[in-house]
Amino acid sequence: MLAIQGHYQNGILTLDKEAPLDDARVLVVFPIGENFNKEEQMTTDEALLILDKYAGSIDRDIDYEKERDEYFNEKYGPFN
């Protein structure tokens, strides 16, 4: 799976960088935040079914350490 961050606003999804392919089906995951409609929230069982469906069928190319560091830098700011 290749993870690329982006921004969703008013029905338009914009990626922060260009994807390394011309055509692909995508799975968009929205983090739950204060603007999230709780009535539309997926149950844990539903989320696990989706993840199980795609696990192993997607080529994984994720640098987990880099993704984790970027997450913490975004959430807490850079560590000096």
* Domain range summary for the chain, segments of one domain joined by +: 6-76
Residue range 1-17: mean pLDDT, rounded: 85
pLDDT above 80: residue 15: yes
Q: State residue 9's pLDDT score.
A: 87
DSSP state, 38? G
- Bridge-based pairing of strands 6-9 and 12-15 is antiparallel
Contact between 3 and 61 under an 8 Å Cβ cutoff? The reply is no
pLDDT one-digit tens code per residue, 29-72: 777 666 666 666 677 787 777 777 766 655 556 777 888 888 88
